[in-house]
Structure 1
Amino acid sequence: MGETGEVVTDPSLPFRPRVAAASLSGASDAAWAKSAAPSVGAAVLGGLAVDEPTRTAARTMVEDRDREEFLPDDPLAFAEQQLAEVTDMSIVPGLNVRSRTLEPLRRVADVCTVHDAICEINAHCRQAEMCDVGAGQSLLREPDRLAAQVATAAEAGATVSVKVRTEVPGVDVPGIARKIEQVGADAIHVDAMDSEGVVAEIVAATDLFVIANNGVRDRGTVREYLAYGADAVSVGRPSDRPVVLDRVRDATDAWFGEPMEGGR
Protein backbone atom coordinates (compact mmCIF):
# COMPACT_ATOMS: atom_id res chain seq x y z
CA MET A 1 0.00 0.00 0.00
CA GLY A 2 1.02 3.63 0.31
CA GLU A 3 3.64 5.29 -1.81
CA THR A 4 6.19 2.50 -1.35
CA GLY A 5 4.26 0.47 -3.89
CA GLU A 6 5.74 -2.90 -2.93
CA VAL A 7 2.57 -4.47 -1.54
CA VAL A 8 0.07 -3.47 -4.21
CA THR A 9 0.44 -6.09 -6.96
CA ASP A 10 -2.89 -5.82 -8.78
CA PRO A 11 -2.31 -4.42 -12.28
CA SER A 12 -5.20 -1.96 -11.81
CA LEU A 13 -3.50 -0.42 -8.77
CA PRO A 14 -2.09 2.10 -8.47
CA PHE A 15 -3.88 3.87 -11.29
CA ARG A 16 -2.35 7.03 -12.74
CA PRO A 17 -2.99 9.86 -12.30
CA ARG A 18 -3.92 9.10 -8.68
CA VAL A 19 -7.42 10.56 -9.10
CA ALA A 20 -10.67 8.62 -9.41
CA ALA A 21 -14.04 9.93 -10.50
CA ALA A 22 -16.42 8.56 -7.87
CA SER A 23 -19.77 7.00 -8.70
CA LEU A 24 -22.94 9.11 -8.53
CA SER A 25 -26.26 7.28 -8.57
CA GLY A 26 -28.02 7.57 -11.90
CA ALA A 27 -25.33 9.81 -13.40
CA SER A 28 -22.03 7.92 -13.60
CA ASP A 29 -22.20 6.08 -16.90
CA ALA A 30 -19.77 5.48 -19.73
CA ALA A 31 -20.36 8.92 -21.25
CA TRP A 32 -19.57 10.53 -17.88
CA ALA A 33 -16.39 8.45 -17.61
CA LYS A 34 -15.35 9.51 -21.09
CA SER A 35 -15.69 13.19 -20.21
CA ALA A 36 -13.61 12.72 -17.03
CA ALA A 37 -10.94 10.51 -18.63
CA PRO A 38 -8.44 13.25 -19.57
CA SER A 39 -7.98 14.14 -15.88
CA VAL A 40 -8.40 10.87 -13.96
CA GLY A 41 -6.77 7.49 -13.68
CA ALA A 42 -9.95 5.63 -12.73
CA ALA A 43 -13.69 6.13 -13.06
CA VAL A 44 -16.24 4.16 -11.03
CA LEU A 45 -19.57 3.75 -12.80
CA GLY A 46 -22.84 3.22 -10.95
CA GLY A 47 -24.05 2.69 -8.34
CA LEU A 48 -25.94 -0.21 -9.80
CA ALA A 49 -28.50 -2.23 -7.86
CA VAL A 50 -28.09 -5.81 -9.04
CA ASP A 51 -30.54 -7.95 -7.07
CA GLU A 52 -34.28 -7.71 -6.50
CA PRO A 53 -34.17 -6.25 -2.95
CA THR A 54 -31.88 -3.39 -3.98
CA ARG A 55 -33.71 -2.83 -7.27
CA THR A 56 -37.00 -2.56 -5.37
CA ALA A 57 -35.38 -0.06 -3.02
CA ALA A 58 -34.01 1.95 -5.96
CA ARG A 59 -37.43 2.03 -7.63
CA THR A 60 -38.99 3.33 -4.42
CA MET A 61 -36.33 6.04 -4.18
CA VAL A 62 -37.10 7.13 -7.75
CA GLU A 63 -40.87 7.02 -7.38
CA ASP A 64 -41.19 8.58 -3.94
CA ARG A 65 -38.31 11.03 -3.89
CA ASP A 66 -37.40 11.66 -7.55
CA ARG A 67 -33.86 10.38 -7.05
CA GLU A 68 -31.80 9.41 -10.06
CA GLU A 69 -31.00 5.69 -10.19
CA PHE A 70 -29.83 3.24 -12.82
CA LEU A 71 -32.72 0.80 -13.28
CA PRO A 72 -32.11 -1.11 -16.52
CA ASP A 73 -34.28 -4.13 -17.25
CA ASP A 74 -31.20 -6.34 -17.09
CA PRO A 75 -28.50 -5.07 -14.70
CA LEU A 76 -25.97 -7.63 -15.91
CA ALA A 77 -26.38 -6.65 -19.55
CA PHE A 78 -26.17 -3.00 -18.55
CA ALA A 79 -22.92 -3.61 -16.68
CA GLU A 80 -21.50 -5.48 -19.66
CA GLN A 81 -22.49 -2.75 -22.12
CA GLN A 82 -21.25 0.12 -19.98
CA LEU A 83 -17.90 -1.46 -19.18
CA ALA A 84 -17.41 -2.44 -22.82
CA GLU A 85 -17.76 1.24 -23.74
CA VAL A 86 -14.89 2.27 -21.47
CA THR A 87 -12.55 -0.64 -22.25
CA ASP A 88 -10.44 1.33 -24.71
CA MET A 89 -10.16 4.45 -22.56
CA SER A 90 -6.87 5.24 -20.85
CA ILE A 91 -8.40 4.77 -17.39
CA VAL A 92 -9.04 1.94 -14.95
CA PRO A 93 -12.80 1.37 -14.98
CA GLY A 94 -14.84 0.40 -11.95
CA LEU A 95 -18.43 -0.45 -11.14
CA ASN A 96 -20.08 0.41 -7.82
CA VAL A 97 -22.46 -2.42 -6.95
CA ARG A 98 -25.30 -2.59 -4.44
CA SER A 99 -26.61 -6.00 -3.47
CA ARG A 100 -28.06 -7.86 -0.55
CA THR A 101 -27.54 -11.32 -2.02
CA LEU A 102 -24.40 -13.03 -3.25
CA GLU A 103 -25.23 -14.70 -6.57
CA PRO A 104 -26.09 -11.50 -8.50
CA LEU A 105 -22.95 -9.95 -7.06
CA ARG A 106 -20.89 -12.90 -8.26
CA ARG A 107 -22.28 -12.55 -11.77
CA VAL A 108 -21.51 -8.85 -12.00
CA ALA A 109 -18.03 -9.49 -10.54
CA ASP A 110 -17.50 -11.93 -13.41
CA VAL A 111 -18.30 -9.10 -15.83
CA CYS A 112 -15.88 -6.80 -14.04
CA THR A 113 -13.18 -9.47 -14.28
CA VAL A 114 -13.65 -9.82 -18.03
CA HIS A 115 -13.29 -6.06 -18.48
CA ASP A 116 -10.38 -5.61 -16.04
CA ALA A 117 -12.67 -3.40 -13.99
CA ILE A 118 -12.70 -2.80 -10.26
CA CYS A 119 -15.76 -4.30 -8.60
CA GLU A 120 -16.61 -1.78 -5.89
CA ILE A 121 -18.97 -3.09 -3.22
CA ASN A 122 -21.21 -0.35 -1.90
CA ALA A 123 -21.15 -0.22 1.90
CA HIS A 124 -21.70 3.51 1.64
CA CYS A 125 -25.24 4.40 0.54
CA ARG A 126 -27.11 5.88 3.51
CA GLN A 127 -30.56 6.04 1.91
CA ALA A 128 -33.08 4.43 4.25
CA GLU A 129 -34.65 2.29 1.54
CA MET A 130 -31.31 0.73 0.64
CA CYS A 131 -30.25 0.22 4.25
CA ASP A 132 -33.60 -1.35 5.14
CA VAL A 133 -33.04 -4.16 2.64
CA GLY A 134 -29.56 -4.85 3.98
CA ALA A 135 -27.38 -3.01 1.47
CA GLY A 136 -25.35 0.18 1.57
CA GLN A 137 -23.97 1.34 4.89
CA SER A 138 -26.04 -1.25 6.77
CA LEU A 139 -23.22 -3.65 5.76
CA LEU A 140 -20.86 -1.73 8.03
CA ARG A 141 -22.93 -2.89 10.99
CA GLU A 142 -22.79 -6.50 9.74
CA PRO A 143 -19.13 -6.98 8.80
CA ASP A 144 -19.53 -10.73 8.31
CA ARG A 145 -22.05 -10.12 5.53
CA LEU A 146 -19.77 -7.50 4.02
CA ALA A 147 -16.87 -9.93 4.17
CA ALA A 148 -18.97 -12.55 2.40
CA GLN A 149 -19.65 -10.09 -0.42
CA VAL A 150 -15.96 -9.24 -0.71
CA ALA A 151 -14.99 -12.92 -0.78
CA THR A 152 -17.61 -13.63 -3.46
CA ALA A 153 -16.31 -10.89 -5.75
CA ALA A 154 -12.68 -11.81 -5.10
CA GLU A 155 -13.32 -15.47 -5.88
CA ALA A 156 -14.69 -14.37 -9.26
CA GLY A 157 -11.27 -12.92 -9.99
CA ALA A 158 -12.19 -9.25 -9.76
CA THR A 159 -10.13 -6.47 -8.29
CA VAL A 160 -12.29 -5.63 -5.26
CA SER A 161 -12.78 -2.28 -3.60
CA VAL A 162 -15.24 -1.43 -0.84
CA LYS A 163 -16.68 2.05 -0.49
CA VAL A 164 -17.32 2.99 3.14
CA ARG A 165 -18.34 5.89 5.35
CA THR A 166 -16.45 6.93 8.45
CA GLU A 167 -19.16 8.64 10.48
CA VAL A 168 -21.49 5.70 11.19
CA PRO A 169 -21.80 5.56 15.00
CA GLY A 170 -20.30 2.52 16.65
CA VAL A 171 -18.59 1.25 13.50
CA ASP A 172 -14.86 0.44 13.65
CA VAL A 173 -13.82 1.31 10.10
CA PRO A 174 -10.13 0.30 10.50
CA GLY A 175 -11.30 -3.02 11.94
CA ILE A 176 -13.62 -3.51 8.98
CA ALA A 177 -10.74 -2.66 6.65
CA ARG A 178 -8.63 -5.41 8.22
CA LYS A 179 -11.50 -7.88 7.86
CA ILE A 180 -12.17 -7.17 4.19
CA GLU A 181 -8.45 -7.34 3.42
CA GLN A 182 -8.29 -10.82 4.95
CA VAL A 183 -11.00 -12.10 2.58
CA GLY A 184 -9.61 -10.63 -0.62
CA ALA A 185 -10.25 -6.90 -0.91
CA ASP A 186 -7.61 -4.95 -2.79
CA ALA A 187 -8.75 -1.41 -2.04
CA ILE A 188 -10.94 0.67 0.23
CA HIS A 189 -12.66 3.86 -0.92
CA VAL A 190 -13.14 6.02 2.17
CA ASP A 191 -15.76 8.77 2.39
CA ALA A 192 -14.07 10.56 5.27
CA MET A 193 -16.78 13.14 5.96
CA ASP A 194 -15.46 15.07 9.00
CA SER A 195 -13.24 12.21 10.17
CA GLU A 196 -10.25 12.58 7.88
CA GLY A 197 -7.91 11.10 10.47
CA VAL A 198 -9.55 7.70 9.99
CA VAL A 199 -7.68 7.54 6.69
CA ALA A 200 -4.41 7.40 8.61
CA GLU A 201 -5.80 4.69 10.90
CA ILE A 202 -6.76 2.54 7.91
CA VAL A 203 -3.35 3.10 6.32
CA ALA A 204 -1.68 1.97 9.54
CA ALA A 205 -3.97 -1.06 9.95
CA THR A 206 -3.86 -2.58 6.45
CA ASP A 207 -2.02 -2.98 3.18
CA LEU A 208 -5.11 -1.98 1.20
CA PHE A 209 -4.89 0.61 -1.55
CA VAL A 210 -6.63 3.59 0.07
CA ILE A 211 -8.71 6.04 -1.96
CA ALA A 212 -9.82 9.09 0.04
CA ASN A 213 -13.04 10.91 -0.76
CA ASN A 214 -15.12 13.86 0.44
CA GLY A 215 -14.62 17.50 -0.37
CA VAL A 216 -11.69 16.89 -2.72
CA ARG A 217 -11.57 20.06 -4.79
CA ASP A 218 -8.09 21.61 -4.81
CA ARG A 219 -4.45 21.40 -3.75
CA GLY A 220 -5.25 21.89 -0.05
CA THR A 221 -7.79 19.09 0.20
CA VAL A 222 -5.66 16.74 -1.89
CA ARG A 223 -2.59 17.32 0.26
CA GLU A 224 -4.56 16.80 3.48
CA TYR A 225 -5.71 13.32 2.46
CA LEU A 226 -2.38 12.31 0.95
CA ALA A 227 -0.56 13.48 4.07
CA TYR A 228 -2.67 10.99 6.02
CA GLY A 229 -1.25 8.28 3.76
CA ALA A 230 -3.96 7.83 1.13
CA ASP A 231 -2.74 6.28 -2.12
CA ALA A 232 -5.21 8.26 -4.24
CA VAL A 233 -8.15 10.63 -3.96
CA SER A 234 -11.54 10.69 -5.63
CA VAL A 235 -13.87 13.44 -6.76
CA GLY A 236 -17.63 13.06 -6.32
CA ARG A 237 -20.14 15.79 -7.17
CA PRO A 238 -17.78 18.00 -9.22
CA SER A 239 -16.59 15.07 -11.34
CA ASP A 240 -18.36 16.62 -14.33
CA ARG A 241 -16.32 19.84 -13.97
CA PRO A 242 -13.01 19.60 -15.85
CA VAL A 243 -11.55 22.61 -14.04
CA VAL A 244 -11.92 20.84 -10.69
CA LEU A 245 -10.57 17.54 -12.00
CA ASP A 246 -7.57 19.28 -13.53
CA ARG A 247 -6.75 21.04 -10.23
CA VAL A 248 -6.95 17.76 -8.36
CA ARG A 249 -4.89 15.93 -10.94
CA ASP A 250 -2.16 18.59 -10.89
CA ALA A 251 -2.03 18.40 -7.08
CA THR A 252 -1.75 14.60 -6.98
CA ASP A 253 0.85 14.54 -9.75
CA ALA A 254 2.91 17.10 -7.84
CA TRP A 255 2.62 15.12 -4.59
CA PHE A 256 3.70 11.82 -6.12
CA GLY A 257 6.32 13.41 -8.38
CA GLU A 258 4.63 12.09 -11.50
CA PRO A 259 4.60 13.91 -14.87
CA MET A 260 1.65 16.20 -15.42
CA GLU A 261 0.72 14.43 -18.63
CA GLY A 262 0.00 11.31 -16.51
CA GLY A 263 -1.56 8.29 -18.17
CA ARG A 264 -1.51 4.64 -17.17
Structure 2
Amino acid sequence: MFHPPLALASLSGEADAEWARAGADYAGAAILGGIALDADSRAAARDLVARDRTEFLPDDPLTFIDEQLEALADVPIQTGFNVRSATVGPISDAARVCRDRDGLLEINAHCRQDELCAVGCGETLLQDDDRLCAYVETAAETGVTTGVKVRAEVPGVDLAALSKRLEEAGATFVHVDAMDSELVVADVADATDLFIIANNGVRDDETVREYVEYGADAVSVGRPSDNPVVLERVREAVDQRFGVKPNP
Protein backbone atom coordinates (compact mmCIF):
# COMPACT_ATOMS: atom_id res chain seq x y z
CA MET A 1 0.00 0.00 0.00
CA PHE A 2 2.82 2.40 0.75
CA HIS A 3 6.60 2.46 0.92
CA PRO A 4 8.34 2.51 3.31
CA PRO A 5 5.80 0.67 5.52
CA LEU A 6 5.74 3.41 8.14
CA ALA A 7 2.71 5.65 8.62
CA LEU A 8 2.17 8.84 10.56
CA ALA A 9 -1.02 8.28 12.56
CA SER A 10 -3.70 10.95 12.85
CA LEU A 11 -3.58 13.25 15.86
CA SER A 12 -6.73 15.11 16.80
CA GLY A 13 -6.45 18.75 15.78
CA GLU A 14 -2.77 18.44 14.86
CA ALA A 15 -2.40 16.08 11.89
CA ASP A 16 -2.69 18.46 8.95
CA ALA A 17 -0.82 18.96 5.69
CA GLU A 18 2.02 20.87 7.36
CA TRP A 19 2.47 18.03 9.86
CA ALA A 20 2.51 15.43 7.07
CA ARG A 21 5.00 17.41 5.01
CA ALA A 22 7.34 17.64 8.02
CA GLY A 23 7.36 13.85 8.45
CA ALA A 24 7.46 12.88 4.79
CA ASP A 25 11.20 12.22 4.77
CA TYR A 26 10.68 9.32 7.17
CA ALA A 27 7.26 7.82 6.36
CA GLY A 28 5.45 6.26 3.44
CA ALA A 29 1.99 7.41 4.51
CA ALA A 30 0.31 10.09 6.58
CA ILE A 31 -3.25 9.81 7.88
CA LEU A 32 -4.57 13.31 8.50
CA GLY A 33 -7.41 14.22 10.84
CA GLY A 34 -9.49 13.09 12.52
CA ILE A 35 -12.24 15.23 11.15
CA ALA A 36 -15.87 15.23 12.29
CA LEU A 37 -18.26 15.10 9.35
CA ASP A 38 -21.85 15.35 10.53
CA ALA A 39 -23.78 17.55 12.96
CA ASP A 40 -23.58 15.22 15.97
CA SER A 41 -19.88 14.45 15.62
CA ARG A 42 -19.11 18.14 15.11
CA ALA A 43 -21.10 19.04 18.23
CA ALA A 44 -19.10 16.44 20.15
CA ALA A 45 -15.87 17.90 18.78
CA ARG A 46 -16.91 21.36 19.96
CA ASP A 47 -17.52 19.92 23.42
CA LEU A 48 -14.01 18.46 23.35
CA VAL A 49 -12.56 21.85 22.44
CA ALA A 50 -14.47 23.35 25.36
CA ARG A 51 -12.47 21.14 27.68
CA ASP A 52 -9.18 22.08 26.06
CA ARG A 53 -8.67 19.29 23.50
CA THR A 54 -7.52 20.21 20.02
CA GLU A 55 -9.92 19.48 17.17
CA PHE A 56 -10.29 20.42 13.51
CA LEU A 57 -13.58 22.31 13.17
CA PRO A 58 -13.59 24.00 9.75
CA ASP A 59 -16.84 25.45 8.44
CA ASP A 60 -16.93 22.81 5.70
CA PRO A 61 -15.25 19.48 6.54
CA LEU A 62 -15.27 18.25 2.93
CA THR A 63 -13.57 21.38 1.63
CA PHE A 64 -11.03 21.05 4.43
CA ILE A 65 -10.24 17.46 3.44
CA ASP A 66 -9.89 18.43 -0.21
CA GLU A 67 -7.66 21.43 0.47
CA GLN A 68 -5.44 19.54 2.87
CA LEU A 69 -4.89 16.68 0.45
CA GLU A 70 -4.32 19.11 -2.42
CA ALA A 71 -1.62 20.82 -0.34
CA LEU A 72 0.29 17.53 -0.32
CA ALA A 73 0.04 16.84 -4.05
CA ASP A 74 3.74 17.56 -4.51
CA VAL A 75 4.87 15.47 -1.54
CA PRO A 76 5.92 11.84 -2.25
CA ILE A 77 3.81 10.29 0.48
CA GLN A 78 0.56 8.31 0.50
CA THR A 79 -2.07 10.51 2.10
CA GLY A 80 -5.31 9.62 3.83
CA PHE A 81 -7.94 11.06 6.14
CA ASN A 82 -9.34 9.71 9.39
CA VAL A 83 -13.05 10.57 9.58
CA ARG A 84 -15.69 10.47 12.29
CA SER A 85 -19.41 10.43 11.75
CA ALA A 86 -22.46 9.47 13.78
CA THR A 87 -24.35 8.79 10.53
CA VAL A 88 -23.44 6.93 7.37
CA GLY A 89 -24.46 9.61 4.87
CA PRO A 90 -21.38 11.86 4.96
CA ILE A 91 -19.04 8.87 4.64
CA SER A 92 -19.63 8.57 0.89
CA ASP A 93 -19.01 12.29 0.36
CA ALA A 94 -15.70 12.18 2.23
CA ALA A 95 -14.77 8.98 0.42
CA ARG A 96 -15.21 10.63 -2.98
CA VAL A 97 -13.02 13.56 -1.98
CA CYS A 98 -10.28 11.20 -0.82
CA ARG A 99 -10.66 9.04 -3.92
CA ASP A 100 -10.31 12.01 -6.24
CA ARG A 101 -7.12 13.06 -4.44
CA ASP A 102 -5.70 9.51 -4.51
CA GLY A 103 -6.02 9.39 -0.74
CA LEU A 104 -7.07 6.68 1.66
CA LEU A 105 -10.22 6.90 3.77
CA GLU A 106 -9.83 5.70 7.34
CA ILE A 107 -13.06 5.29 9.31
CA ASN A 108 -12.56 6.13 12.97
CA ALA A 109 -13.75 3.31 15.24
CA HIS A 110 -11.05 4.19 17.71
CA CYS A 111 -11.62 7.37 19.72
CA ARG A 112 -12.88 6.72 23.23
CA GLN A 113 -13.74 10.23 24.43
CA ASP A 114 -17.10 10.25 26.18
CA GLU A 115 -18.49 13.04 24.01
CA LEU A 116 -17.84 11.12 20.78
CA CYS A 117 -19.03 7.80 22.14
CA ALA A 118 -22.26 9.40 23.36
CA VAL A 119 -23.27 10.23 19.79
CA GLY A 120 -22.22 6.86 18.38
CA CYS A 121 -18.76 7.68 17.07
CA GLY A 122 -15.37 6.22 17.81
CA GLU A 123 -15.03 2.92 19.62
CA THR A 124 -18.81 2.52 20.00
CA LEU A 125 -18.73 1.44 16.35
CA LEU A 126 -16.67 -1.59 17.38
CA GLN A 127 -19.68 -2.81 19.33
CA ASP A 128 -22.05 -2.24 16.41
CA ASP A 129 -20.68 -4.48 13.66
CA ASP A 130 -23.55 -3.92 11.26
CA ARG A 131 -23.30 -0.13 11.36
CA LEU A 132 -19.52 -0.15 11.01
CA CYS A 133 -19.73 -2.55 8.07
CA ALA A 134 -22.30 -0.27 6.46
CA TYR A 135 -19.83 2.60 6.75
CA VAL A 136 -17.14 0.47 5.09
CA GLU A 137 -19.47 -0.68 2.29
CA THR A 138 -20.59 2.89 1.64
CA ALA A 139 -17.01 4.12 1.37
CA ALA A 140 -15.68 1.19 -0.64
CA GLU A 141 -18.47 1.51 -3.21
CA THR A 142 -16.98 4.88 -4.26
CA GLY A 143 -13.74 3.18 -5.24
CA VAL A 144 -11.65 4.75 -2.49
CA THR A 145 -9.17 2.56 -0.64
CA THR A 146 -10.99 2.08 2.65
CA GLY A 147 -9.76 1.12 6.09
CA VAL A 148 -10.77 1.30 9.72
CA LYS A 149 -8.81 2.38 12.76
CA VAL A 150 -9.69 0.07 15.65
CA ARG A 151 -8.75 -0.32 19.28
CA ALA A 152 -7.94 -3.44 21.26
CA GLU A 153 -9.28 -4.14 24.75
CA VAL A 154 -12.85 -2.97 24.13
CA PRO A 155 -15.13 -5.25 26.19
CA GLY A 156 -17.01 -7.81 24.16
CA VAL A 157 -15.18 -7.05 20.90
CA ASP A 158 -13.32 -9.81 19.03
CA LEU A 159 -11.08 -7.78 16.74
CA ALA A 160 -10.11 -10.75 14.61
CA ALA A 161 -13.73 -11.67 13.90
CA LEU A 162 -14.68 -8.04 13.36
CA SER A 163 -11.76 -7.51 10.97
CA LYS A 164 -12.96 -10.47 8.91
CA ARG A 165 -16.36 -8.84 8.58
CA LEU A 166 -14.74 -5.54 7.61
CA GLU A 167 -12.76 -7.32 4.90
CA GLU A 168 -15.96 -8.87 3.55
CA ALA A 169 -17.57 -5.41 3.57
CA GLY A 170 -14.83 -4.03 1.32
CA ALA A 171 -12.06 -2.81 3.62
CA THR A 172 -8.50 -2.96 2.32
CA PHE A 173 -6.66 -2.17 5.53
CA VAL A 174 -7.09 -2.12 9.28
CA HIS A 175 -5.12 0.19 11.57
CA VAL A 176 -4.83 -1.58 14.93
CA ASP A 177 -4.13 0.32 18.14
CA ALA A 178 -2.97 -2.72 20.08
CA MET A 179 -3.01 -0.98 23.47
CA ASP A 180 -1.31 -3.50 25.80
CA SER A 181 -2.49 -6.52 23.80
CA GLU A 182 0.07 -6.68 21.01
CA LEU A 183 -0.81 -10.28 20.19
CA VAL A 184 -4.12 -9.07 18.77
CA VAL A 185 -2.15 -8.13 15.65
CA ALA A 186 -1.31 -11.80 15.13
CA ASP A 187 -4.97 -12.75 15.63
CA VAL A 188 -6.07 -10.28 12.94
CA ALA A 189 -3.28 -11.41 10.60
CA ASP A 190 -4.36 -15.04 10.98
CA ALA A 191 -8.03 -14.21 10.35
CA THR A 192 -7.79 -11.89 7.33
CA ASP A 193 -5.83 -10.79 4.29
CA LEU A 194 -6.22 -7.14 5.24
CA PHE A 195 -3.19 -4.87 5.14
CA ILE A 196 -2.42 -4.41 8.84
CA ILE A 197 -0.94 -1.21 10.23
CA ALA A 198 0.15 -1.80 13.83
CA ASN A 199 0.01 1.11 16.25
CA ASN A 200 0.81 1.83 19.89
CA GLY A 201 4.20 2.32 21.46
CA VAL A 202 6.15 2.23 18.18
CA ARG A 203 9.35 3.95 19.24
CA ASP A 204 12.37 1.75 18.42
CA ASP A 205 13.67 -1.46 16.92
CA GLU A 206 12.23 -3.66 19.66
CA THR A 207 8.67 -2.46 19.13
CA VAL A 208 8.92 -2.63 15.34
CA ARG A 209 10.37 -6.15 15.49
CA GLU A 210 7.55 -7.32 17.74
CA TYR A 211 4.83 -6.12 15.39
CA VAL A 212 6.60 -7.56 12.35
CA GLU A 213 6.80 -10.94 14.08
CA TYR A 214 3.06 -10.77 14.78
CA GLY A 215 2.32 -10.26 11.09
CA ALA A 216 1.93 -6.50 10.65
CA ASP A 217 2.41 -5.16 7.14
CA ALA A 218 3.34 -1.70 8.42
CA VAL A 219 3.64 0.24 11.66
CA SER A 220 2.52 3.73 12.59
CA VAL A 221 3.78 6.42 14.92
CA GLY A 222 1.26 8.56 16.80
CA ARG A 223 2.23 11.12 19.43
CA PRO A 224 5.94 11.28 18.52
CA SER A 225 5.14 11.79 14.83
CA ASP A 226 6.40 15.37 15.08
CA ASN A 227 9.69 14.26 16.68
CA PRO A 228 12.39 13.70 14.03
CA VAL A 229 14.62 11.85 16.49
CA VAL A 230 11.96 9.21 17.10
CA LEU A 231 10.99 9.07 13.43
CA GLU A 232 14.56 8.51 12.32
CA ARG A 233 15.00 5.72 14.87
CA VAL A 234 11.76 4.03 13.84
CA ARG A 235 12.54 4.42 10.14
CA GLU A 236 15.89 2.68 10.64
CA ALA A 237 14.09 -0.18 12.41
CA VAL A 238 11.46 -0.37 9.67
CA ASP A 239 14.14 -0.55 6.99
CA GLN A 240 15.85 -3.41 8.82
CA ARG A 241 12.83 -5.41 9.96
CA PHE A 242 10.77 -5.09 6.78
CA GLY A 243 13.80 -5.44 4.53
CA VAL A 244 13.33 -2.06 2.91
CA LYS A 245 15.90 -1.42 0.21
CA PRO A 246 17.32 2.10 -0.07
CA ASN A 247 16.30 4.17 -3.05
CA PRO A 248 18.89 4.01 -5.87
State the secondary structure of the residue aligned to 2:134: helix
State the secondary structure of the residue aligned to 2:237: helix
CA distance in 1, matches of 2:166, 2:138: 11
Q: How does 1:177-192 map to 2 (within 5 A)?
A: 177-192=163-178
CA distance in 2, matches of 1:83, 1:184: 23
CA distance in 1, matches of 2:74, 2:37: 25
Which of these residues, 180, 188, 191, is aligned with residue 202 of structure 1?
188
State the secondary structure of the residue aligned to 1:38: coil
CA distance in 1, matches of 2:84, 2:210: 29
Q: How does 1:158-177 map to 2 (within 5 A)?
A: 158-177=144-163
Moved over 4 A (4+): none
Does residue 44 of structure 2 align to residue 61 of structure 1?
Answer: no
**AA matched with 1:137:** E
Q: Residue 91 of structure 1 corresponds to which residue in structure 2?
A: 77
CA distance in 2, matches of 1:71, 1:42: 23
Q: Residue 3 of structure 1 corresponds to which residue in structure 2?
A: none
Does residue 88 of structure 2 align to residue 102 of structure 1?
Answer: yes
CA distance in 1, matches of 2:111, 2:147: 15
Instruction: Considering Cα pairs closer than 8 Å and 6+ residues apart, tell me whether 1 or 2 has the greater RCO.
Output: 1
Residues 51-78 of structure 1: per-residue CA shift (max 9 Å, x gap): 1110000001111x11000000000110
Alignment: residue pair count: 248
Q: Residue 235 of structure 2 corresponds to which residue in structure 1?
A: 249
Q: RMSD in angstroms over aligned alpha carbons?
A: 0.9
CA distance in 2, matches of 1:160, 1:144: 16
TM-score where L is the length of structure 2: 0.98
Which of these residues, 92, 98, 123, is aligned with residue 109 of structure 2?
123
Once the two structures are overlaid, the 10-residue window that deviates more, 37-46 or 244-253, is 244-253
Residues 87-130 of structure 1: per-residue CA shift (max 9 Å, x gap): 22111001000011122111010000001111000000000110
Which of these residues, 20, 23, 28, is aligned with residue 36 of structure 1?
23
* 1:166 CA displacement: 0.5
Structure 1: 5+ residue runs without aligned partners? 1-12
Q: Residue 8 of structure 1 corresponds to which residue in structure 2?
A: none
CA distance in 1, matches of 2:52, 2:217: 35
* 1:261 CA displacement: 4.5
Does residue 33 of structure 2 align to residue 46 of structure 1?
Answer: yes
* 1:260 CA displacement: 3.8
CA distance in 2, matches of 1:180, 1:87: 29
Structure 2: 5+ residue runs without aligned partners? none
CA distance in 1, matches of 2:158, 2:131: 15
CA distance in 2, matches of 1:28, 1:261: 27
State the secondary structure of the residue aligned to 2:215: coil
State the secondary structure of the residue aligned to 2:148: strand
**AA matched with 1:155:** E
Pair 159,153 (structure 1): closer, same or farther in 2 beyond 3 Å: same
Residues 16-51 of structure 1: per-residue CA shift (max 9 Å, x gap): 111000000000000000000000000000000011
Which of these residues, 208, 211, 225, is aligned with residue 239 of structure 1?
225
State the secondary structure of the residue aligned to 1:86: coil
Q: Residue 60 of structure 2 corresponds to which residue in structure 1?
A: 74
Q: Tell me, yes or no, if the aligned pair for 1:96 and 1:119 is still in contact at 8 Å.
A: yes
